Chain A
Amino acid sequence: MRIFILSFITIGSLCLGNPASLAKEVSFNYDIRPIMSDTCFLCHGPDEGNREADLRFDIREIAIADRDGSAAIVPGDPEESLMIWMINQEDEEDRMPPKKHPRSLMEDEKELFRKWIEQGAKYEKHWSLIPPVAKEPVNVSNPNWIRNSIDKFVLRKLDKEGLSPSEEADRTTLIRRVTFDLTGLPPTLEEIDAFLADASVNAYEKLVDGLLSRIAYAERLTNEWMDVARFSDSHGYSHDFVRDMSPYRDWVIEAFHENMPFDQFVQWQIAGDLLPNATRTQKLATAFNRLHPQNSEGGIVNEEFKVEYAAERVQTLSAAFLGMTIECARCHDHKYDPITQENFYELFSFFNNIDDSGQISVETSDMPAPTLMLPTVDQTKNLAEMDKGIKAQEAEVERIYKNSRSGFTERKLTQGDAMDLSGEDALVAHFPLVSEDTSASIANDLNPSAIGRVIVDSRPLEFFQVNNKEGPELELVPYEGGIGVKVNGDDSLYFQGANFFRRATPFSVGIKAKIPESVNEGTLIHFNVAGILYNYKGWEVSLMDGHWDVRMAHNFPYNAIQLVSIDPVKTEVWQNVHLTYDGSSTAAGLTLYVDGVPVRMRVTRDRLYKNIVSNQERVKKNVGLKVGARWRSKGLPGALVDEVQAFDRKLTSLEVQHISGSEDQAYEDDQGYDFYLNRYHPAYRESLKLLVALRGERNALNETIQEVMVMDELPEPQQAYVLRRGSYAAPIKPVEPRTPDAILSFPENLPENRLGLAHWLTDPKNPLTARVTVNRYWQMIFGRGLVGTPEDFGNQGQLPTHPELLDWLARHFIDSGWDVKEMLKLMVSSASYKQNSKADNKLLEMDPENLLLARGPVKRQSAEMLRDNALTASGLLVRKVGGKSVYPYQPEGLWSLSSGTYTQGTGLDLYRRSLYTVWKRTAPPPTMKNFDAPNRSYCVVKRQHTASPLQALSLMNDPQFVEAARVLAEQVMLTRKGLNERLEIAYRLLTSRVPNEKEMDVLRSLLAELTASFIQKPENSDALLSVGESGYDEDLPKPILAAYTMVVSMIMNHDAAVVLR
């Protein structure tokens, strides 16, 4: 524990001069609250559930309240204050904080408490919750040093500490620093030379403006944002299938490139879909809320994970924009900050209103809904043309329908009643269920080779190559209508041959069934592999809550049709059940009949926009028609079934009535006409077929369109509840969308939805969003935030090193219209930033972390920068922007832990910027991981900075770096003459600077050693040069090229290449 206390004190002392010096006034915010938070609040803080002795120290009124004649705090009188008494108890058992508390009070901290009470025990609102006010310092020691307002704040602090700023860094260092900081890439030699030669006063400004206008700048900012947005290319749980969300990433690039105001950038991501007349791009931006991990594991409970996802969105919101650890309040009131559990679920309720399914489909190509289709320009055009064609064909169908009455009349006159209502022209499978049937063979009247059978547990046999054919015998039950089969609810009748059901294809199915009173939920007949496991892809006729439930789904619930009967299902009687479908992908195209009468249905979902069968051949082949039970779903145990039929067109109501055994109707009415057209009118039948073909084509094209996860609000918000201990199964009380008053009360005029929330976030009065954002950018530029805990601006977070500067920047950011480029330009243009980063021993000792900014920043390059630096220096880097993620070099077998295989890319894909490298959450790219790239499973606003031997191994041996070294070596050998020039250029390309003589000695010495070695062992150079896909000039002397390669590799590993100074 000691280590934490010490580090706290260090920061404190640097912020405030010397807090232990008790001569001056003790500050509640800077001296007292941090200690209270760390030692008292656990039991005497905001968390009601954990509160001891009914005492809390975070609210003054309670702390000073009389408690049986005395008070915990008596302002002005430490001796009378119970608190002082308790913290000074001799006996460890009696002393506060109690022994079990993770941290105890130090003597000087106790003294601070005493002094503070003596001075009146004044409370202040927590610093980060007071809206920032811009107060620029006026008097500083050295006005000549000042480049912009930032420097005044920095210098004032240095003045206080008796320090002076460092000299400006040399120009090479500067251009390298600023180019990496703003673009993530090194400057080219030409850029360096041009900058060195530019004597104009605004040379640096021109440089910065140029950098900010590059697309590489947008990529750099996007790379940072990807950590915040937890962007990845895979779902994250369990099998962790890969899915492509690159359009969101590319939108972020575009937004930064165009310098979209940050408040708008936030609004679009939080609630773009709710903006008036939301554009496709605004909707796309809301993918931000959907990038959290999602689980396809069979057996999870939907609601559990729906809750998990909504809670995750709150967590991301709070870390990314508010710098608060609001998720602590998921299970109980926050222990340190003024956030109640209710506050958490009020925020939660903003994110709880999408029609998603907690358990996502194991169908690997299914994007978890809600989704947005993103057709390309060409696709849009083609779709529009196809839609036109479909419309025209629908009109044609309609035209024939309107104009063929005469044929009907004529036919009636000539043929009388001789009309075939059996539907036999369309019958494609018929399982009459006869006494000869067994569980291994159920006869098909139409096609003896396409028999049905029983599958145990309803799990398709071939599907998992599981040999579990053993199962109960078919239970044949004679009844007045013949012989039926009693299903057990677990093992379905399976008709693999009946597998023609597609979204554009009209069909009808029929079954006779007697449903026992004992069941009110379960599937009767269906065409799915499974239920939730595949998100109900296919169609089904089921019972739900005693009512008929008809579904047709690509991905239930969002991308699906669902109809529920208004009346309950009749039980204990035989009934003929038919479902007909017209191929229109609409609820109107589905009709459920019972005993020939259409069932009155309520449409609960009507949004089917993708296929209803799997794209995987293996799954598609096995899906088939199933009766009585479904894999891992509820079936209808005890139901009797008979006469299973499938038809390849939509039967007319007359036919359904006939097949159901009802009295045949006369033909005069529209029903008869409808039947006539569908059964006997060649032109009508032809026109329907053509319509099916056109729809089929459109649907096929539709399947190829990029689809992304987005937010789409349900028409009726779902009621959210406070959940006991955060558990989905334990709702306590309903809550409405609201924001924590402690931060900023929700303005009356805002809508109580995500759009209102987005405006609340970016409200100029919100004390956190701007501060948190500028702090993160400060961290990006200076290596450390003004608040060292960018994720926590609360009581347990660190205090700002330069509070007034942070406030000024936040205010300035808001006033500038949330202008990110301007903000970054301001930072990199400050004299503070441009300082030399070198520190003497005194300064190192006094301020090892450079909290005072008496020198310039030092940062190890990020994982992405290291690779991009090597690729740029060697000329391998491919400057293509955006698109699907790519698969550069990676050792084999890493993905086999979960699922999928890593198929390494070829050619240009190997050399894209690192932000485009595919990111599988369960097996991230190892070199990136070694260099502290986060897992991308949750929002990260600050990367770790570690050094490990694995980093050295990566940088020395990862083929990506070895290849880049070889290509760079080849380049200098081909384009430069003489060893010195070659070494110097290679060194410059990687480090931006010219090596000094001593360094050249080292380079030459290694080159000589290695050349000798490779000449001795020529086979070694062959092997080394073969690393990587790109070829090399074989006319070059191989041992020498090999030696140069390894010298270049060494430079890549050199501090001068790796660390930005």
Chain B
Amino acid sequence: MNDFVEKLNYLNRRQFLTKSSLGLGAAALSAFGNPSKLFSSTQYPGTKGILGKPHFAPKAKRVVYLFQSGGPSQFELFDYKPTLDKLHGEELPDSVRKGQRLTGMSTNQSTFPLVRSIYDFQQYGNNGAWVSELMPHTAKIVDELCFIRSMNTDAINHDPAITFFQTGSQLAGRPSIGSWLDYGLGTDNEDLPSFVVMVSKNGSGQALYARLWGNGFLSSRHQGVQFRAGEDPVLYLNPPPGLDDHDRGQIINHLKQLHELQYEALGDPEIHSRIAQYEMAYRMQMSVPEVTDVSDEPESIFELYGEDSRDPGTYAANCLMARRLLEKGVKFVQLYHQGWDQHVNLPEGIKKPAERTDQASAALVMDLKQRGLLDDTLVIWGGEFGRTNYSQGNLTPTNYGRDHHPRCFTLWMAGAGVKPGFSYGETDEFGYNITENPVHVHDFQATLMHILGIDHKRLTYKHQGRRYRLTDVHGHVVKEILA
């Protein structure tokens, strides 16, 4: 015990750790009940962001981004087009298409018949937002949502499009949004990663890639950490079987002693970084199971998020997990749900992802709200592009498909910084082109950063002789949607 205190004093004297820091020692190790409290403030190098403080007062402290991978059809979900009801089956007029590029999947079709949504729409909420019957839960919360119906992107295929949305470039190699935020703002919780990623186990479809949450050319400590369902939520988080927490603590304690000896001999300050690195790893090992153990959630919460939320790894369970992480101060939680890529059999195919995501997405918004967290948390729902107003493949009375469409699609946000019960941007009556207030992917990214208090033009990183930023050389903050 004394030894521990002495060690602490020694450290403080040497000022290698911050004043309030606590090393790991016998006393600490005997108190495994709540270790994160005990070791919470050891300064780990790199927990502070490069900006020190935001460029201006942030509206949001954290973000949860519910990425709907595959390209959800705006026509069957949020962008109601009565004209298509009338023109159903008629050829897409050249005056609308204007010779624009289609994907290689439908460009060779002999015909391009317009197709209406097979699902009904109704108006909801105070501002009468149109929502389809596929999204009954989302429909109920439209007064919380800020719809952008005029999203558009440069990319027309999944890989470049999703890479573009998440990194600002269609090509691999740039840092993802979460990495930029961690680089810029640092973390609010030193026991957990600041950028957490979860992929639904009950989605399937287009591929995802670790580079979507990769650090690109930023330091790899800014990479997103994937949380997975099951007993080892973070790769290699758990000690090997048979090694209990007490013994792990002993090892880290002794390792620290070795490192102190090494430091005495060599005087390299990097050695103290290593000590902090192991202590943070240890704290993560303690904190992650705590945050991922949902047994303390009341029944009403599971009911709110839906039955799936009891099944770890589902979209609904991940939404619930997202809320728990946000509560702990995780800055950026990114969910991915695969399964929105309905080239054929859209009427049937779209049901599944809608059913699996609708309730939990809405529940997350409302749960954050009831906890007061929605005031400083931004929620984002959206995919990488929209879908065509014409049928890909054969159009029958009950069946059709839709190809990728980058020129317009719908995304919604909720919570901190954005106007609730608001809709922005318009598409033409064919749902093909934008007629009013287009929002490009870079604009979306600029706005997202703005809400977090970052001037997107001023968060840069010099790499290969050039200052890079998330928005490349583009992007405008969409002031109109800001609360």
Would you call A935 and B220 a contact (CB within 8 A)? no
Which B residues touch A138, using CB under 8 A?
none
| Cβ B466 vs Cβ A4 within 8 A | no
Q: Establish whether residues B239 and A951, one from each chain, have CB atoms under 8 Å apart when the complex forms.
A: no
Interface: A239 (CB within 8 A):
yes
Q: A300-B157, A953-B284, A999-B258 are in contact. Are A240 and B267 (CB under 8 A)?
A: no
Interface residue A657 (Cβ < 8 Å from any Cβ of B):
no
Q: How far is the CB of A14 from chain B (nearest CB, A)?
A: 19
B261, A489: Cβ atoms closer than 8 Å: no
A102 interface residue (CB < 8 Å to B): yes
Mask, A526-549, CB within 8 Å of B = 1, is 000001100000000000000000
- How far apart are the CA atoms of A947 and B222 in the complex, in Å? 11
* A957-983 interface (Cβ within 8 A of B): 957-959, 962
Nearest residue (CB) in A for B253 is: A1006
Cβ contact within 8 Å between A897 and B207: yes
| Interface residue SS majority, chain B | loop
Q: Which residues of B sit under 8 angstroms from A749, Cβ to Cβ?
A: none
Question: A791-830: which residues lie under 8 A (CB-CB) from chain B?
Answer: 791-792, 794-797
Please determine whether B259 and A1055 come into contact, CB atoms closer than 8 angstroms: yes
Which A residues are CB-close (under 8 A) to B240?
957, 959, 962, 1023-1024, 1027
B408 CB, min distance to chain A CBs, angstroms: 18
Question: B238 on the interface (CB 8 Å rule)?
Answer: yes
Chain A residues closer than 8 Å to B111, beta-carbon distance: 490, 637
- Cβ contact within 8 Å between B345 and A1050: no
How many Å lie between the Cα of A794 and that of B462 in the bound state? 14
Within A1015-1060, the residues touching B (CB, 8 Å) are: 1017, 1019-1027, 1042, 1046, 1049-1051, 1053-1056, 1058-1059
A491 touches B156 (CB 8 A): no
Selected from A466, A792, A1010, A1054, the residue in CB contact (under 8 A) with B344 is A466
Is B210 among interface residues, defined by CB-CB distance under 8 A? yes
Whether the pair A949, B269 counts as a contact (CB closer than 8 A) is no
Any chain B CB within 8 A of the CB of A954? yes
A293–B236 touching, CB < 8 Å: no
Cα distance, A83 to B403, chains bound together (Å)? 55
A 991-1025 contacts with B by CB, 8 A: 996, 998-999, 1002-1003, 1005-1006, 1009-1010, 1013, 1017, 1019-1025
Say if the beta carbon of B247 comes within 8 Å of chain A. Answer: yes
Q: Which residue of A lies closest to B44 (CB)?
A: A949
Q: Are B220 and A932 in contact (CB under 8 A)?
A: yes
Contact B103 A299 (CB under 8 A): yes
Most B CB contacts (10 A, CB to CB) among A4, A466, A1023 go to A466
Chain B residue nearest to A464 in the complex (CB): B344
Shortest CB distance A461–B (Å): 11
Instruction: Please report the C-alpha to C-alpha distance between residue A238 and residue B404 in the assembled complex, in whole angstroms.
Output: 15
Across the interface, name the chain A residue whose C-beta is closest to B235.
A926
Residue-wise, chain A 487-528 has the 8 Å CB interface mask toward B (1 for contact) of: 011110000000000000000000000000000001000000
Contact string against A for B residues 146-162, beta-carbon threshold 8 Å, 1 for contact and 0 otherwise: 00000000001111000
Q: Is B479 an interface residue (CB 8 A)?
A: no
Does A899 interact with chain B (Cβ within 8 Å)?
yes
Instruction: Please name all residues of chain B whose beta carbon is closer than 8 Å to the beta carbon of A1042 when the two chains form the complex.
Output: 242
- A891→B238 CA distance, assembly (Å): 12
Whether a CB of chain B sits under 8 angstroms from the CB of A840 is yes
CA distance A897 to B258 in the complex (A): 40
- We find that the number of chain B residues with CB closer than 8 angstroms to chain A is 89
In the complex, A129 has a CB within 8 A of chain B = no
Q: Name the distance in Å between B218's Cβ and chain A's nearest Cβ.
A: 8
B338 to chain A, nearest CB (A): 9
- Would you call B394 and A471 a contact (CB within 8 A)? yes
Judge if B6 is at the interface, Cβ distance under 8 Å: no
Question: Which residues 215-267 of B have a CB within 8 angstroms of A?
Answer: 219-221, 223, 225, 228, 232, 234-244, 246-248, 250-251, 254-255, 257-259, 261-262, 266-267
Interface assignment of A54: CB less than 8 Å from any CB of chain B: no
A838 within 8 A of partner (CB): yes
- Which of B104, B261, B403 has the most chain A CB atoms inside 10 A of its CB? B104
A283 to chain B, nearest CB (A): 28
Quick one: given A457-B344, A899-B207, A1055-B262, are A102 and B273 in contact (CB under 8 Å)? no
Q: How far is the CA of A930 from the CA of B103 in the complex (A)?
A: 37
Q: Is A414 an interface residue (CB 8 A)?
A: no
Bitwise, B376-405 to A at CB < 8 A (1) or not (0) is 000000000000000001101011000110
Contact A299 B251 (CB under 8 A): no
A635:B110 contact, CB within 8 angstroms: yes
Q: B214 contacts the other chain (Cβ, under 8 Å)?
A: yes
CA distance A947 to B232 in the complex (A): 22
Q: How far is the CB of B263 from chain A (nearest CB, A)?
A: 8
Residues on A with C-beta less than 8 A from B273 are 947
Q: How far is the CA of A1026 from the CA of B207 in the complex (A)?
A: 35
Q: Complex: how many Å from CA A407 to CA B104?
A: 56
User: What distance in Å separates the Cβ of A342 from its nearest Cβ neighbour in chain B?
Assistant: 20
Q: How many Å from the CB of B23 to the closest CB on chain A? A: 15
Q: Say which residue of B246, B255, B457 sits within 8 Å of A1013 (CB atoms).
A: B246
Across the interface, do B258 and A1050 meet the contact criterion of CB distance under 8 Å?
A: yes
| A935 lies within 8 A of B344 (CB) | no
How far apart are B150's CB and chain A's nearest CB, in angstroms?
23
Q: Decide: A897 near B210, CB < 8 A? Known: A1013-B247, A1055-B259.
A: yes
Contact of B236 among A456, A926, A932 (CB under 8 A): A926
Q: State the interface size on chain A (CB cutoff 8 A).
A: 126
Could you tell me the distance between the alpha carbons of A531 and B108 in the complex, rounded to whole angstroms?
Answer: 11
Q: Determine whether the beta carbon of B159 is less than 8 Å from that of A470.
A: no
**Chain B residues with Cβ under 8 A from A922's Cβ?**
207-211
Assess the B210–A923 pair: CB atoms within 8 A: yes
Q: A residues within 8 A CB of B266?
A: 838, 1061
Please determine whether B104 and A293 come into contact, CB atoms closer than 8 angstroms: no
Is there an interface contact between A948 and B277, defined as CB atoms closer than 8 Å?
yes
CB distance from B232 to the nearest CB of A (A): 7
- Please give the distance in Å from B394's CB to the nearest CB on chain A: 5
Across the interface, name the chain B residue whose C-beta is closest to A1007: B254
In this assembly, does B281 line the interface, its C-beta being within 8 Å of a C-beta of chain A? yes
If A102-B460, A490-B394, A838-B266 touch, does A1027 touch B219 (CB 8 Å cutoff)? no
In the assembled complex, B280 has its CB within 8 A of some CB on chain A:
yes
In the bound complex, what is the Cα–Cα distance between A1019 and B243 (angstroms)? 10
Known: A240-B207, A470-B394, A897-B208. A946 touches B254 (CB 8 A): no
Inter-chain CA distance A898–B199, complex, in Å, is: 12
- Report if B271 contacts A (CB, 8 A): yes
B183-225 near A? 1/0 per residue, CB < 8 Å: 0000000000000000100000011111100100001110101
- Whether A490 and B255, one on each chain, are in contact in the complex, defined by CB atoms closer than 8 angstroms, is no
Contact, CB under 8 Å: B236 / A297: no
Contact of A325 among B157, B210, B270, B464 (CB under 8 A): B464
> Which residues of the partner chain B approach A956 to less than 8 Å between Cβ atoms?
236, 239, 248, 251, 281
B345 touches A947 (CB 8 A): no
Asked if A1020 and B244 make an inter-chain contact with CB atoms under 8 angstroms apart, the answer reads yes
Give the shortest distance, in Å, between B103 (CB) and chain A (any CB): 3
CA distance A637 to B112 in the complex (A): 13
- Complex CA–CA separation, A1009 to B26 (angstroms): 12
Q: Select one of B104, B223, B280 contacting A632, CB under 8 A.
A: B104
In the complex, whether B458 has a CB less than 8 A from a CB of chain A is: yes
B45 nearest in chain A by CB position: A947
Indicate if the CB atoms of A239 and B207 lie closer than 8 Å: yes
**Across the interface, do A937 and B172 meet the contact criterion of CB distance under 8 Å?**
yes
Q: Is the CB of A632 within 8 A of B105?
A: yes
Question: What distance in Å separates the Cβ of A892 from its nearest Cβ neighbour in chain B?
Answer: 9
Contacts of B457 in A (CB 8 A): 100, 102
- 7 A-B pairs, CB-CB below 8 angstroms? A100-B457, A325-B466, A466-B344, A632-B106, A1005-B254, A1050-B255, A1055-B262
CB-CB nearest 9 A-B residue pairs = A796-B465, A1023-B242, A1024-B242, A299-B103, A489-B110, A898-B207, A952-B281, A922-B209, A637-B110
Give 19 A-B pairs besides A996-B261, A1009-B254 with Cβ atoms closer than 8 angstroms: A240-B209, A295-B159, A299-B105, A302-B104, A319-B464, A459-B393, A471-B394, A838-B268, A891-B236, A898-B209, A921-B172, A924-B210, A949-B284, A958-B236, A1002-B257, A1009-B250, A1013-B250, A1020-B243, A1026-B242
